[in-house]
Amino acid sequence: TDKEGHTFSVFWVLVSVVLGAIAMLCKEQGITILGLNAVFDALVINKINLLELIRKLLYKDKSLENAGLLRKGLLFRITLLMCGGAGILYIRWRIMGTGPPAFTEVDNPASFADSLFVRAINYNYYYSLNAWLLLCPWWLCFDWSMGCIPLIKSVSDWRIIALAALWFCLIGLICQALCSEDSHKRRILTLGLGFLIIPFLPASNLFFRVGFVVAERVIYLPSIGYCILFTYGFSLLSKQAKKKKILAVAVLGILLINVMRCALRSSQWRSEEQLFRSALSVCPLNAKVHYNVGKNLADKGNQSAAIKYYREAVRLNPKYVHAMNNLGNILKERNELHEAEELLSLAVQIQPDFAAAWMNLGIVQNSLRRFEEAEQSYWTAIKHRKKYPDCYYNLGRLYADLNRHIDALNAWRNATVLKPEHSLAWNNMIILLDNTGNLAQAEAVGREALELIPNDHSLMFSLANVLGKSQKYKESEALFLKAIKANPNAASYHGNLAVLYHRWGNLDLAKKHYEVSLKLDPMAPGTKENYNLLRRKLEQLQKKGG
């Protein structure tokens, strides 16, 4: 209770701070809710006249209490909110570190401009775009960076009109909020402007650089203020309008259009393809949009179409290393190795610590039989990303091609240490040990792998081959059958099981699985010859029996 006997709850103010902290954990913008609470408390609960308060502060009037500043414990509550906000920011600072996130020029080009004039004019243009999206949310895009909005570099640019319109409206509203004789009107307009501006401040570039040009998510909270201003404007118009039905129809029409737009946008968010393609018409100059469309197509196996979009992404942003890397990968798979090498070499030249591009460059160089260069590329990738199991796997393949078996085994072992479920590395170790006659070691590695990845049919198959050569026929048969159950259409599984039965002397089952293997793959190497040998042997046995 304050001096005048007004009661308020400190508990609920503290709850407000806690909820603000939770909101900030979801999105940094959530902390601005504390500022909105202070504005609501001052304007709605205490009905403060902001212009009168400013005048008393300027003239150092001692009757501030009469202006409502201390009424109902307002000053105490605002102090609590400010202390809570400062505490939340301090905790965030301790957890996240003191330095701001590292952004690049493509993320927010205006913030990297040398000229203060260019920075200021573009920031204000971004504000006008955000205001327009509130008024008319038709141009919606999942990403507005990478050249989506070209910089304004001179006053002759026609987009300056948008800035003038924005500030004309804002200044008009601020003047009405401060100077109107109607106290109710002042409070409503000040509240609406507070809810419109305060939540937007973290995205304004005024206090720190942000990593985007326009982001639709940052105008969700400001839309509260927009709705307050829009509703109040409609109420004023309805009082003065003679044909209120037309006004009501117009507002309902606007609501209906926005509901339809919301439904359309929601449907676009249901799939990556629709979301990315919807951005092409809004931001055709955005390299990231073309990159994402290309990646989506590549993931679906449409490499030819993906190449087109990746090339456009690189054309729009010649330093877009991720697009170069993905395009190089597709060209590598299509055996267009020389162009792939050019792109990947350029990517690592632009970004020397791009580990994935170094690894892919190594794969291309390996395919071109430039083994020393490939080895150097792999080790450079590992230098920049210490825990890189896929790179160790590819390094092992290189060493295997060079018959450096110990190095290959060590590389694959590193891959499995870093990623125990790396099936390909385990498989290659088993096969290499099998091929070099180290059956006991191959068996040990195979059993270790199956303990970690018990349902991997390719590991079952590789270990079954080793056990068969070690004359452990029963255990080998069980693994072959388990692998076939998991992957019944693998011709090699049936063919190798047939070889096992052939060695074991179970000729009828051998014949059955040879036939299944040949049905699945008539060109399977060695299977037809083994089948013919078995048939001749069966014919000879029949003749002897006869």
Domain membership flag for residue 448: no
pLDDT band at 61 (very low <50, low <70, confident <90, very high): low
Tokens of 176: 């009405």
Q: What is the DSSP letter of 44?
A: I
Residue that is last in its domain, among 265, 281, 310: 265
Q: Are residues 81 and 212 in the same domain?
A: no
Domain membership flag for residue 410: no
DSSP for 479-530 reads HHHHHHHH-TT-HHHHHHHHHHHHHHT-HHHHHHHHHHHHHH-TT-TTHHHH
Q: Please, are residues 181 and 80 in contact by the beta-carbon 8 Å criterion?
A: no
Q: Are residues 189 and 209 in the same domain?
A: yes
DSSP 3-state of 385: coil
In this predicted model, what pLDDT tens digit does every residue of 477-528 receive, in sequence order?
999 999 999 999 999 999 999 998 888 888 888 889 988 999 998 887 788 8
Q: Are residues 126 and 218 in the same domain?
A: yes
Residue 314 has what pLDDT?
Answer: 94
Q: Are residues 88 and 118 in the same domain?
A: no
Domain membership flag for residue 375: no
Average confidence (pLDDT) over 278-288: 90
Tokens of 375: 């080895």
Contacts of 330 (CB under 8 A, 6+ apart): 298, 303, 306, 307, 310
Q: Are residues 22 and 158 in the same domain?
A: no
Domain membership flag for residue 47: yes
DSSP 3-state of 369: coil
Q: Are residues 14 and 131 in the same domain?
A: no
Q: Please, are residues 462 and 446 in contact by the beta-carbon 8 Å criterion?
A: yes
Average confidence (pLDDT) over 168-181: 87
350: pLDDT strictly greater than 60: yes
In this predicted model, what pLDDT tens digit does every residue of 412-426 receive, in sequence order?
999 999 999 999 999
End-to-end CA distance of the chain: 114
Number of structural domains found in the chain: 2
The amino acid that residue 204 corresponds to is S
- Cα 522 from chain centroid? 45
Residue that is last in its domain, among 249, 265, 281: 265
Q: Are residues 173 and 208 in the same domain?
A: yes
Residue 101 has what pLDDT?
Answer: 67
Per the listing, tokens 């197509």 go with 297
Q: Are residues 154 and 214 in the same domain?
A: yes
Which domain does 29 fall in, by range?
10-96
Share of the chain above pLDDT 90, in %: 47
Secondary element (H or E) of residue 3 = none
DSSP 3-state of 336: coil
Residue 426 has what pLDDT?
Answer: 96
Q: Are residues 122 and 84 in the same domain?
A: no
List helix spans (H) across 351-490: 355-367, 371-384, 389-401, 405-418, 423-435, 439-452, 457-469, 473-486
In this predicted model, what pLDDT tens digit does every residue of 353-373 receive, in sequence order?
999 999 999 999 999 999 999
- Provide the whole-model pTM: 0.78
Residue 413 has what pLDDT?
Answer: 96
Q: Are residues 109 and 91 in the same domain?
A: no
Please provide the average confidence, as pLDDT, over all residues in the chain: 87
Per the listing, tokens 């409070």 go with 187
Over the Cα atoms of the chain, what is R_g? 35
DSSP for 239-266 reads HH-S-HHHHHHHHHHHHHHHHHHHHHHH
Contacts of 243 (CB under 8 A, 6+ apart): none
d(CA 476, CA 462): 10
Domain membership flag for residue 278: no
Q: Are residues 110 and 170 in the same domain?
A: yes
